[in-house]
């Protein structure tokens, strides 16, 4: 009877390990799929939203640079009181009280500054492009973290179920061993071995429970909701390049980390021109209109208007501008080295991710063979133990080997799914479009277009 019950449990647990289909909370609501979890992370992950906000901050650098083309208008006003007292022989003392007041408007317009404004605009635009690529990289990281968290919950739930099932089997094993001890078929040593193995199994189950709680917390942090009932997940190998060489080649042209680094190189090169422009003359015009009252007598009024062209020629500024120019050139060199580093890092990431994917496939095949062999071995050891050819320890060891084989299979299945997402991320294609997520796509260009040519106003496009 025990053998039939154990076989039934073994069959059910093996199927659980093979399909990794687990209800985390056992609710009756529709199962959460990996795609829906990724969609929630795409829309609500705080790290991703913070990166989007960072890009909006970067966008504002462009209208700030464009302000160099625009006039600067300032107004001023003043009012005061004046008392003039004079004494003239024969005429006595005279007092003149006035309230001098007035206002002025001044307009300054730069006409030429050696291309400083144009280069500053180009530099700001390059930084915006780099920011968009950094946002793409953040999206990839969040989606990969969400997929990993999803699979970790499935894995840890399956392993916990396997360990709980193992505890039940060992409890039954201990009960039978005690019954056999009471009739003199086994010794006290056999009972102690069963008790020790049961205690170890309970410890493993407690550790599995702790690991699951940690994975649940991580899932909640990334996806934004508590996992309820997670559906099976499949690898996304159909979206991957066909070979490692192709994956490496695609990554060099598509990965956002590399393209962001290249945009930073462009921005740094332009920064050299911006710094050098400070060494050249600049030409501007200034126009002023002022109105004054009571300047010399009561109720007098004076209006003045001036237009002044101004040529400014820097001669020597203590070496500060020269130092900034040299600094900008060194920064450009640093950015080029960082771009080379990014290329090599991404290439290494692709190779490592591809190797992990291939290894996980081999591990699944090996684990499946291991599970089948361990099941056959456990069945044989139990039959041999009935006729005295195997000891209780042999049965316990075979049971432990089967548990380890099933846990390895669950882990290998999890690793294959995560590795497929890792490869897609390494080539720079892990995004909502590739995955077909049902989400409203975030358009990183919308805010830029809303603020680029905005001349006035402190309100953000979203109304803040």
For the cut 70, the answer to whether the pLDDT of residue 24 exceeds it is no
| CA 228 – CA 219 distance, rounded (Å) | 11
Can you state the percent helix, strand and coil of the chain, rounding each to 5?
A: 65, 15, 20
| pLDDT-based confidence at residue 220 (cuts at 50, 70, 90) | very high
With a cut of 60, say whether residue 25 has pLDDT above it: no
DSSP characters for 10-41? HHHHHHHHHH--B-SS--SSPPBPHHHHHHHH
10 or 359: whose pLDDT is higher? Answer: 359
How confident is the model at residue 5, as a pLDDT?
A: 38
Q: What is the mean pLDDT of the segment spanning 102-106?
A: 93
Among 1-10, 223-232, 251-260, 294-303, the range scoring the smallest mean pLDDT is: 1-10
Q: Average pLDDT over the chain, rounded to whole?
A: 86
Q: What is the pLDDT of residues 29-84, one digit of tens each?
A: 567 899 999 999 998 899 999 999 999 999 999 999 999 999 999 999 999 888 77
CATH topology of domain 2-69+115-279+319-451: Outer membrane efflux proteins (OEP) (1.20.1600)
pLDDT value at position 30?
A: 67
The Cα-based distances of 305 to 104, 107, 109, 299, 302 in angstroms read 9, 11, 16, 20, 10
Q: Label residue 462 by pLDDT band (50, 70, 90).
A: confident
pTM: 0.84
- Across the range 383-397, mean pLDDT stands at 76
Q: What is the mean pLDDT of residues 341-358?
A: 94
Residue 122 has phi, psi (to 5 degrees) of: -60, -40
CATH of domain 71-83+96-112+280-313: 2.20.200.10
Higher-confidence position of 453 and 387: 453
User: Average pLDDT for residues 129-139, to the nearest whole number?
Assistant: 94
Q: What φ, ψ does residue 266 adopt, rounded to 5°?
A: -60, -45
Q: Which range, of 2-11, 47-56, 285-294, 426-435, averages the lowest pLDDT?
A: 2-11
Model pLDDT for residues 243-274, shown as the tens digit of each residue: 999 999 999 999 999 999 999 999 999 999 99
For the chain, residues classed under CATH 2.20.200.10 are: 71-83+96-112+280-313
Residue with tokens 């042999």: 394
Name the percent of the chain lying above pLDDT 70: 93
Percent of the chain with pLDDT over 90: 52
- pLDDT over 80 (residue 12): no
Start-end of CATH 1.20.1600.10 domains in the chain: 2-69+115-279+319-451
- Top pLDDT among 84 and 374 is at 374
């Amino acid at each position: 009877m025990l053998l039939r019950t154990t076989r039934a449990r073994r069959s059910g647990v093996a199927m659980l390990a093979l399909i990794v289909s687990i209800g985390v909370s056992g609710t009756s609501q529709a199962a959460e799929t990996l795609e829906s979890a990724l969609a929630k992370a795409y829309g609500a992950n705080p790290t991703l939203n913070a990166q989007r906000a960072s890009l909006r901050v970067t966008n504002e650098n462009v209208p700030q640079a464009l302000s160099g083309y625009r006039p600067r208008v300032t107004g001023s006003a003043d009012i005061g009181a004046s008392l003039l007292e004079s004494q003239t022989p024969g005429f006595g003392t005279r007092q003149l009280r006035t309230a001098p007041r007035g206002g002025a408007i001044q307009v300054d317009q730069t006409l030429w500054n050696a291309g400083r404004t144009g280069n500053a605009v180009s530099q700001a635009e390059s930084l915006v492009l780099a920011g968009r690529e950094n946002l793409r990289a953040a999206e990839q990281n969040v989606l990969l973290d969400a997929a990993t968290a999803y699979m970790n919950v499935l894995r840890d739930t399956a392993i916990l179920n396997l360990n709980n099932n193992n505890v039940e089997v060992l409890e039954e094993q201990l009960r039978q061993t005690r019954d056999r001890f009471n009739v003199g078929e086994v010794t006290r040593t056999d009972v102690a071995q069963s008790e020790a193995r049961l205690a170890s199994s309970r410890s493993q189950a407690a550790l599995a429970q702790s690991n699951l709680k940690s994975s649940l917390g991580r899932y909640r942090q990334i996806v934004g909701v508590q996992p309820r009932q997670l559906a099976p997940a499949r690898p996304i190998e159909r979206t991957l390049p066909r070979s490692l060489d192709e994956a490496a080649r695609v990554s060099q042209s598509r990965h956002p980390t590399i393209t962001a680094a290249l945009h930073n190189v462009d921005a740094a090169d332009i920064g050299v021109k911006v710094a050098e422009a400070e060494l050249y003359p600049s030409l501007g015009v200034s126009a002023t209109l002022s109105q004054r009252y009571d300047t010399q007598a009561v109720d007098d009024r004076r209006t003045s208007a001036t237009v002044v062209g101004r040529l400014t020629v820097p001669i020597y500024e203590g070496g500060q501008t020269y130092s900034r120019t040299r600094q900008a050139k060194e920064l450009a060199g640093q950015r080029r080295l960082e771009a080379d580093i990014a290329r090599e890092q991404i290439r290494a990431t692709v190779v490592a991710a591809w190797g992990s994917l291939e290894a996980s496939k081999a591990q699944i095949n090996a684990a499946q063979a291991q599970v089948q062999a361990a099941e056959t071995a456990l069945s044989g050891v139990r039959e041999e133990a009935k006729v005295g050819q195997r000891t209780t320890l042999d049965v316990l060891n075979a049971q432990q080997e089967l548990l380890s084989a099933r846990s390895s299979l669950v882990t290998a299945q999890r690793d294959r799914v995560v590795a497929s997402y890792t490869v897609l991320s390494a080539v720079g294609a892990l995004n909502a479009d590739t995955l077909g997520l049902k989400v409203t796509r975030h358009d990183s260009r919308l805010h830029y277009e809303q603020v680029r040519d905005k001349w006035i106003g402190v309100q953000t496009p979203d109304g803040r």
